[in-house]
Amino acid sequence: MWQQTLITLRARPRGFHLVTDELLAGLPELQACRVGLLHLWLQHTSASLTINENADPAVRRDFERFFNRLIPQGTADYEHNDEGLDDLPAHFKASVLGCQLSLPITAGRLALGTWQGVYLGEHRDHGGARRVLATLYGDGA
């Protein structure tokens, strides 16, 4: 079975946000997949997807602080700032973290570890809604 769905994630403030449940809500067909893969492609250049800790929100706050130190905003060395001072730093962060994930499916569920969840890294001050193209491939139940 192959299926492709465009999921629009609600707008979020700058930072790292768990979006696992929102993605799954947009993919009810996943429950019928016995074994397979889910590929997620974020259609933006100023946000990212990654997998990490799903229980303690301090981890997501620490992620934001770390990446802001690694890639500071307002540096005079950046030429591209057409959409504001957060523009190029957002592109850098998105490139470092990436815009795609491939996740295994087992028995109609994502085969994530106990403490794993999908993060949306929103790297703009006002990024707006984000689109994720979800491609599901697998064997039905």
pTM flag (> 0.85): yes
Q: What is residue 96's three-state secondary structure? A: helix
Superfamily of structural domain 2-140: YjbQ-like (2.60.120.460)
CA distance 120 to 99: 9
Write down the pLDDT at residue 76. 80
- Average pLDDT in the 16-29 region? 97
Residue 11 DSSP class: P
Write down the pLDDT at residue 140. 81
Write down the pLDDT at residue 141. 57
Fill in the amino acid letter for 45: T
Query: What's the chain's average pLDDT?
Result: 96
pLDDT in tens, 114-138: 999 999 999 999 999 999 999 999 9
Helix or strand (DSSP H, E) at 111: none
Q: Tell me the two tokens of residue 105.
A: 């499916």
Rg (CA), the chain: 16
